[in-house]
Amino acid sequence: MLYGIINGEKKRAKPKLKAACPLYGTELTAKCGAIKVWHWAHRAEAFCDEWTEGETKWHKNWKDCFGIGQVEVVVKKRFKKHIADIVAKNGVVIEVQHSPISPQMIEAREDFYGRMIWIVDARSFKENFNVRFQAFVLKQLKEKVHLRWKNKDTVIETALDEEGFEWLYFDCSHLQLGEAQKDDLTKIGFFYNSSLKCWKAEHSEKRFRYLNYLQTGLFYIPFEWKWARPSWQFAQKPVFLDFHKKYLFYVTDGTGKREGLGYFVAKERFLRRYR
Ligand SMILES: [Zn+2]
């Protein structure tokens, strides 16, 4: 755990400190080594939340994106209590999962928390997970992140402007858009920029999916996952895969299967929604 309780307050581990566990008040010892993230640890024999994972740098990075009051929150329900990794401002519990997890554990947590989502550390299987058209970080300037999805000659580009607004640019010069499609684009908030020769709109999942649909006939991006982890098929709640890039892949179909669908969500955008 990143936080222990000292004099009623949540505190980070520092050398030689002791604290109480927020769940049952048992003693925690600060572990402040050179390699692992500084964290609090129970005595080996202590009984506590069997759901908590060891603290990795990846866990810490996610938890540090949120306020102290939103991280490692004790949730009580039906005479049981557990420590949720993160509670979003809208009350949704975010569980950040690094290790493989059993179907029973997935079901138990989803049942307990109710409104929750998963962020899964996907770095260890990123080589085995492919979207059918390439997504790559085009360039990374100070505040600007460009993601480009390429399929044949058409391109969807997203970019952040100086104010942090995310825009979609859709180069349709290689597509024969009919009047009805142009109408649709206008209806969902696109306007045609004749100097850039592309359609432009503020980013939203709906708009992104529509552009994807124009290109592929599908609203979502197909993926192939070699050696998929089948326990994730038991997840009923949303699963976001984190490949340690600027975006998450939200799996809409086929979680834990060899093939499925989903789309990319910029982390910035994800955080704006849940923070
Ligand atoms: Zn404890």
Q: Give the containing element (helix H, strand E) for 96.
A: strand 93-97
Partnered with residue 155 across adjacent β-strands are: 150, 171
24 Cα: distance to centroid of ligand 1 (angstroms): 6
Q: 42: CA distance to ligand 1 center in Å?
A: 6
SS (H, E, C) 141-204: CCCCEEEEEEECCEEEEEEECCCCCEEEEEECCCCCCCHHHHHHHHHCCCEEECCCCEEEEECC
Closest to 203 measured CA to CA, from 172, 161, 165:
165
Q: Is the pLDDT of residue 144 over 50?
A: no
Q: What is the pLDDT of residues 78-122, one digit of tens each?
A: 889 999 999 999 999 999 999 999 999 999 999 999 999 999 999
- The Å distance, Cα 77 to ligand 1 centre, comes to 17
Whole-number Å distance, alpha carbon 25 to ligand 1 midpoint, is 7
Domain ranges of the chain: 3-121, 130-218
Report CA(227)–ligand 1 centroid distance (Å): 35
Task: Examine the pLDDT at 1 and tell me if it is beyond 70.
Answer: yes
Q: How far apart are CA 127 and CA 19, in angstroms?
A: 41
187 — alpha (psi -120 to 50), left (phi > 0) or beta? alpha
Q: Half-sphere exposure of 95 toward its Cβ, with a 13 Å CA cutoff?
A: 29
Looking from the CA of 71 toward its CB, the CA atoms found within 13 Å total: 19
> How remote is the CA of residue 200 from the centroid of ligand 1, in Å?
51
pLDDT of residue 83: 95
pLDDT digits (tens, 9 = 90+) for 171-230: 777 677 888 888 888 998 999 988 878 889 987 777 877 877 776 665 677 788 999 999
State which of 58-72, 122-136, 155-169 shows the largest mean pLDDT: 58-72
Rounded to the nearest angstrom, the distance between the alpha carbon of 56 and the centre of ligand 1 is: 18
Q: Do 84 and 59 form a contact (C-beta atoms < 8 A)?
A: no
**Residue 60 backbone dihedrals phi, psi, to 5 degrees:** -60, -45
Q: What is the DSSP string of 204-258?
A: -HHHHHHHHHHHHS-SSEEEEETT--GGGGG--S-EEEE-SSSEEEEEEE-TTSS
Q: Helix (H, G, I), strand (E, B), or coil: what is residue 129?
A: strand
How many whole angstroms from 52 Cα to the centroid of ligand 1?
Answer: 9
49-58, 80-89, 137-146, 225-234: range with lowest mean pLDDT: 137-146
pLDDT in tens, 206-215: 787 787 777 6
Looking at residue 52, the DSSP 8-state letter turns out to be P
Classify burial at 156, counting beta carbons within 10 Å of its beta carbon; exposed 0-12, middle 13-18, buried 19 or more.
buried
Q: Give the per-residue pLDDT at 218.
A: 58
Instruction: State the Rg of the chain over Cα.
Output: 22
Name the nearest CA neighbour of 156 among 209, 194, 218: 209
Q: Tokens 């197909």 correspond to what residue?
A: 222
State in Å: Cα 26 to ligand 1 middle: 6
Please give the distance, rounded to the nearest whole angstrom, from the Cα atom of residue 46 to the centre of ligand 1.
7
Q: What is the rounded average pLDDT for all residues in the chain? A: 85
